[in-house]
């Protein structure tokens, strides 16, 4: 008679673990809920009392949303926040596609295309994660503005992209590639060798193997990393401020949010609704890719 292993019917969770998870979820949710309530309150109420007082004396208005979305002039801005949200999308989507696309191709090359010093290249890319982003801002800005010169001779001409969206795409791609390659390499290298070798025997070249086998099988991992890249780039202020120049035609939403608060951070009636609107698009991206995200987190955790 077969015997069950000890603890086979034991649940994975316990009341204490459930309580801890619930408390942590509340600690993360309460500030967001407070932001939601604050965005509907009047300015004089925001500066005089906490958001929780709205439940004892409810008084809500949509004027704050109308101001930050559509109002012109005054302390809110000349265009509202919609053009800046469009700028953020124009920055984030190409930067994510470039970093994840090139990262997956590099991960496949390092994992399945043998060449000399491939391990050294991989270790070097991994080590680049320890380089602070701030150290490369000035050299990159100089490269974009004036090119590369050696002993008075121009080796690489200036790219003439400072103040344009392309000047923000490239740094985000460069800064994101080391981590993207490292994570995707671990996933791609775990793909069945027999599957790739069978495709090669059937006459498929590396591009065919990548397009027909590696890319479809890597979609869960790609979606997971794309979510993190999207959140990082969407919430970035430093890179866009340095390379885009801060002009309104290319300024991201984060720069607009920083200006909405005023010099002393006194305009909470503007910041609260604008911040609430700014998190809607990342939430849409996350919930749209949630099923791939969960599969990407679990990929490789159990071997058959």
Q: What is the pLDDT of residues 260-272, one digit of tens each?
A: 766 555 677 778 8
Q: What is the pLDDT of residues 214-233, one digit of tens each?
A: 988 888 889 888 988 999 99
Q: Which value, in Å, is the radius of gyration of the alpha carbons in the chain?
A: 25
281 pLDDT higher than 70: yes
For range 72-93, the mean pLDDT: 73
Looking at residue 10, what DSSP letter applies?
-
Model pLDDT, residue 43: 78
Q: Which residues are CB-contacts of 69 (< 8 A; sequence separation ≥ 6)?
A: 80, 81, 82, 277
| DSSP secondary structure of 14-69 | -HHHHHHHHHHHHHHHHHHHHHHHHHTS-HHHHHHS-GGGGGTS----SHHHHHHH
The answer to which of 21-35, 81-95, 202-216, 253-267 has the lowest mean pLDDT is 253-267
The answer to which of 82-86, 243-247, 296-300 has the lowest mean pLDDT is 296-300
Average pLDDT over the chain, rounded to whole? 80
Burial pattern 246-283, b for ≥16 Cβ within 10 A else e, equals eeeebbbbbbbbebbbeeeeebbbbbbbbbbbbeebee
Looking at mean pLDDT, say which of 1-10, 123-132, 136-145, 191-200 comes out highest.
191-200
The answer to which of 50-64, 69-83, 203-217 has the lowest mean pLDDT is 69-83
238 pLDDT higher than 70: yes
Burial pattern 18-57, b for ≥16 Cβ within 10 A else e, equals eeeeeeeeeeeeeeeeebebbbbbeeebbeeeebeebeee
303 pLDDT higher than 50: no
Model pLDDT, residue 148: 77
Model pLDDT, residue 67: 80
């Amino acid at each position: 008679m077969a015997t069950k292993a000890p603890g086979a019917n034991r649940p994975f969770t316990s009341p204490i673990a459930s309580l801890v998870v619930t408390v942590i979820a509340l600690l993360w949710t309460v500030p967001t809920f407070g932001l939601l309530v604050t965005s509907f309150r009047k300015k004089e109420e925001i500066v005089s009392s906490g958001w929780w007082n709205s439940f004892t004396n409810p008084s809500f208005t949509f004027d704050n949303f109308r101001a930050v979305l559509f109002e012109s002039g005054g302390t809110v801005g000349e265009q509202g926040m919609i053009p800046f949200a469009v700028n953020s999308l124009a920055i984030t989507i190409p930067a994510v596609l470039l970093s994840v696309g090139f990262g997956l191709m590099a991960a496949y090359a390092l994992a399945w295309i043998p060449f000399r010093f491939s391990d050294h290249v991989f270790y070097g890319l991994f080590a680049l994660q320890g380089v602070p982003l701030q150290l490369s801002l000035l050299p990159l800005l100089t490269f974009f503005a004036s090119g590369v010169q050696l002993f008075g001779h121009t080796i690489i001409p200036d790219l003439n992209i400072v103040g344009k969206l392309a000047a923000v795409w490239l740094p985000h791609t460069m800064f994101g590639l080391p981590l993207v390659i490292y994570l995707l390499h671990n996933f791609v290298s775990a793909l069945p060798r027999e599957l790739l070798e069978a495709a090669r025997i059937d006459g498929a070249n590396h591009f065919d193997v990548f397009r027909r086998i590696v890319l479809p099988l890597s979609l869960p991992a790609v979606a997971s990393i794309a979510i993190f890249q999207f959140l990082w780039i969407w919430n970035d202020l430093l890179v866009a401020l340095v390379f885009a120049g801060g002009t309104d035609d290319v300024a991201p939403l984060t720069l607009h949010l920083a200006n909405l608060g005023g010099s002393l951070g006194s305009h909470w009636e503007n910041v609260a609704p604008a911040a609430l609107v700014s998190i809607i698009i990342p939430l849409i991206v996350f919930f749209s890719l949630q099923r791939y995200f969960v599969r990407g987190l679990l990929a490789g955790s159990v071997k058959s």
